[in-house]
Structure 1
Amino acid sequence: MSHLDADVAALLALGERIAPEDLAHAESCEHCRSEVHAFQRAVVAGRAASSDTLLAPPAHVWDSIARELSFEQSPAGGADAAPAAGHHVARGSGRRLRRRPMFLALGAVAAAAVIVVGVWASGGIVPRADVVSEATLDGFPEWQGANGEAALERVDGHTQVVVRLDASVPDDGYREVWLLTADASDLVSLGILEGEDGVFPVPDDVDLDAFTVVDISQESADGDPGHSGDSIVRGSLSSS
């Protein structure tokens, strides 16, 4: 028994009209029904991945899909163009002309679903952050030329501090990010800054009405978890 061409099964999965005899065969042949259902799952996954709950992936994600599938956009109306909705597909060699773009289109849908979900799971695509307050970080006299920026953000019901430090610092030791009260009578460590930029979750029990100052210090590997007293930059957060 002959089966449906794969491109015809793909068109049926996309909701396109196909020849009546092909449709009748698809309804009676278990093998072809399974193939159509496989294409339908790819379509559903792709459409779900384009939901408004996700941010649009960066351009390089789609570029990667195109490179992986060797996808090239054909001129409108060319031999490789996908058929328009409602187009009747005839039997014969004309279908074979559309085989490559149809497989690429469905392949792109499936690949997009996998890549978008993968990027979401790995943190490449994240919920939108709302900036609550910002601070300009000024250098201390001992650190001439040092400066930086900080922002308090709310993301998905949680808060985080984003910092950037521009300073010439020694190779030994490490930099640590802190939240201080306005009078510097109390402080909370947010973590170690590696490089010039960092994102630091704020513990839920920290009172952000009281801890309004961002400080980045130079620390030595002496085992003391307290502040070294050697601040590089510091600044007060204010509503943006």
Structure 2
Amino acid sequence: MSHLDDEKIALIAMGEPAGSDADMQHLVDCESCAAEVAEMSRVALVARSSVVEGDLEAPPAGVWSRIHGELGLTTAVAADPASVVPVPVPEPEPVPVSVSEQDAADAGHPRQRTRVRSRRRSSASVWILAASMALVVAIGAGVWIARSLTPSSAVIASAELAAFPDHPEAVGQAEIDDDGDGRRTLTVTLEGDELADGEYREVWLIREDGQALISLGVLDDASGTFRVPDGVDLDEYRLVDISFEPVDGDPAHSGDSIVRGELDFA
């Protein structure tokens, strides 16, 4: 049995009218081609949305002192690394080409060997201190960046998703989170449904009058989180719906809803 070529599979996955009736029937009969269309459909859904992160800001002056206190560091590294002026390292003195007998004798003297070992230990201590400060600065910067890039989020709406008659065992929940910067996400969970071969589950926001709907993406597991597009008025699109969708290249809702519920903003 011959399979659909890659170009036709890609066009069908993006919802383009590229497949004939024979091609659609082939997708029903061929698990391999159906799986490829489903996978590329997921990629197309992800590509339709993007998240723009803001520019990183310089840490406030008090960040280092808090890091210093939390890590219990010594006073040797109490100064803010961002404000420390680097000390120029002197160039090493040239090594003499020849060594006199007296110098050779002094080099073998116990005191001279002790001074050499002391200089080596001092140099090693400087390098260890410098490496420790660099590690502490990296850890502190990582902690600050992680905290800065993790804005506080809050649940602003939720819904209990009731089962449709064809799926009496299904039950679901939904929550809308706002991260404080205007970015909203929908998290859904679904239990009690069985996914048949050649099908996938899709998450939707539906307007209250049922005349318009927005696809948020494919639900691969029992739960998933999806970005709500900017500009969507959730006072209008209050219905959360999860449906079974056949792998047929048609981006429209199949009409086979598993669960649905209305968001409560109380």
Query: Matched residues in 2 for 1:153 and 1:16: separation?
Result: 44
How far does the alpha carbon of each residue in 1:211-231 deviate from its partner, in whole angstroms, 9 at most, with x for none? 111000011001110000010
Q: Is residue 237 from structure 1 mapped to residue 263 from structure 2 by the alignment?
A: yes
Partner residue of 2:200 out of 163, 168, 174: 174
The Cα RMSD (Å) is: 2.8
Q: Distance in 2 between matches of 1:212 and 1:170?
A: 26
Please report how far the alpha carbon of residue 49 of structure 1 lies from its aligned counterpart in structure 2 after TM superposition: 4.1
The amino acid across from 1:146 in the alignment is: A
Q: What does residue range 57-96 of structure 1 map to in structure 2 within 5 Å?
A: none
**1:14 to 2:38 alignment:** no
Residue aligning to 2:153? 129
CA distance in 2, matches of 1:52, 1:223: 42
Distance in 1 (alpha carbons) for counterparts of 2:173 and 2:261: 8
Are positions 1:32 and 2:58 aligned together?
A: no
1:189 alignment partner, SS class: strand
Corresponding residue for 2:135? 42
Distance change (3 Å), C-alpha of 1:193 and 1:232: same
Aligned to 2:248: 222
Q: Aligned residue for 1:184? A: 210
| Partner Cα separation in structure 2 for residue 49 and residue 170 of structure 1 | 42
1:165 aligns with 2:165: no
The answer on 1:194 being equivalent to 2:254 is no
Q: Give % identity.
A: 39
Q: Which sections of structure 1, spanning at least 5 residues, go unmatched?
A: 1-12, 18-24, 56-119, 121-125
- Distance in 2, matches of 1:128 and 1:171, equals 39
Q: Runs of 5+ in structure 2 lacking a partner?
A: 1-72, 78-117
Which one has the bigger strand percentage?
A: 1
Q: CA–CA distance in 2 between the matches of 1:46 and 1:221?
A: 47
2:173 is matched with 149
Cα distance change of structure 1 residues 52 and 174 upon mapping to structure 2, 3 Å threshold: closer
Instruction: Say if 1:14 and 1:40, in contact at 8 Å, map to a contact too.
Output: no
Aligned with 1:239: secondary structure? coil
Supply the AA of the counterpart residue of 2:233. Answer: D
SS in structure 2 of the partner of residue 136 of structure 1: strand
Matching residue of 1:10: none
**What number of residue pairs does the alignment pair up?**
151
Residues 41-96 of structure 1 deviation map (CA, whole Å, 9 limit, x = unaligned): 122333444449629xxxxxxxxxxxxxxxxxxxxxxxxxxxxxxxxxxxxxxxxx
